[in-house]
Amino acid sequence: MIKFILMVNKQGQTRLAQYYEFLSVRERVTLEGELIRKCLSRSESQCSFVEYRDYRVVYRRYASLYFIVGIDNDEDCNELAILEFIHTLVETLDKYFENVCELDI
């Protein structure tokens, strides 16, 4: 199951965060910081799945914004489906805002 969805920009600022399980504010901040550093350090040629703590993290970059989705590591989620889900999410945003950009979020 999806545990959290983050939208973080290249400067490491979290633009939107939605958690589906309880985490304290401090835990969230460290999690977001570590994750974005991890994602930023990866190049284009690397795959979009990262293992982080107990999560399997799927991320995708759109311009300067990273969409990061954390899923349970024990259950096998379909990573490709999550990638498609991220894309659907972006398309939805695009439709709503018309030519969506980071500022809209």
Partner 1 sequence: MVFEKSLTAMVKGIRAHRGNESEYIQACITEIQKEVASKNMSTKSMAVLKLAYLTMLGYDMAWATFAVVEVMGTNRFATKRPGYLASSISFTDQTDVGLLTINLFKKDFGSQSQYESGTAINCLSNICSAEISRDIMTDLLSLLSSSRAYLRKKTVLCLYRIFLKDPPALRTCFPKLKDRLGDEDQGVLTATVNTFLELARKNARNYLSLVPQLYHILVNTQNNWLSIKLLKVFQLLSPLEPRLPAKLVEPLTNILNTTKAQSVEFEAIRCVVRSMPEGSAIVALAIEKLQTFLNSSDRNLRFLALDLYKEVVEKFKEKTSLKDLHDKVLTSIEEPDLTVRRVALQLLDRIVDPSNFQEAVQRLLEFSRKATLNDEFIGTILRMAARDRYALVEDFAWYLLILGEISRNMDSSYAATVAEQFVDICVRVPQVRPYAVTLALGLLDTPAEAERDSISVCTPMVAACAWLLGEYSGDLEKPSEAAFLSGAKVLLTSRSIQALDAATQTQCIWAASKLYLAVPEHAPSTVAQLHELLCSQLPSFVRSTHLDVSERARLALNIANFYKADAQSLQSAKGLVAEQLLPVKPDAQAQVPVSVDLDEPFFVIEEARPSFMPVRADPTDPYSLASTYKDDLGFASEPNRAEAPQSTAQGVPSSSMYYLGKSDERAAAEQAQEPSVPEVKDPLAQMRERLEAQRNAGAPKYQVMRDDVTAPGATPTPDAGQVPSSSSTATLPIPPEKELTDLQGRLWTVCHRGEHLAVYVCIRSPNLRKRQIRLELRCERLCAPELLVSDVALRFPSAAHVQEADASGRMLVVGSLQERSSKVKANLDSAPFLWPGVFDLRCELEYLVKSASSEAAEAQSLPIQLRFPATTFLAPQPMSEDTISDYVSSKSDLLGHQTAQALSFEKTADLSSLVGRCAGLCHFHGIQQAVSPQSQDMKFLLVGAVQPPSAATLEGQRAAPTGALVICRCAALVRPSGLELRITVKAFQQ
DSSP conformational letter for 30: H
How many positions of this chain bind partner 1 (CB under 8 A)?
20
Cβ of 42: how many Cβ atoms within 10 Å? 13
Q: Does 11 bind partner 1 (CB under 8 A)?
A: no
Q: Does 62 bind partner 1 (CB under 8 A)?
A: no
Site string for partner 1, 14-53 (x = CB under 8 A): ----------xx----------------xx-xxxxxxx--
* Least gap, CB of 48 to partner 1 (angstroms): 5
Q: Which of 16, 63, 80, 105 binds partner 1 (CB under 8 A)?
A: 80
CA distance 62 to 41: 16
Buried/exposed code over 67-94 (b: 16+ C-beta within 10 A; e: otherwise): bbbbbeeeeebebeebbebbeebbeebe
Nearer to partner 1, 39 or 65 (CB): 39
Alpha helices in the chain (DSSP H): 25-40, 79-97
| Contact residues: partner 1, CB under 8 A | 1, 24-25, 42-43, 45-51, 75-76, 78-81, 83-84
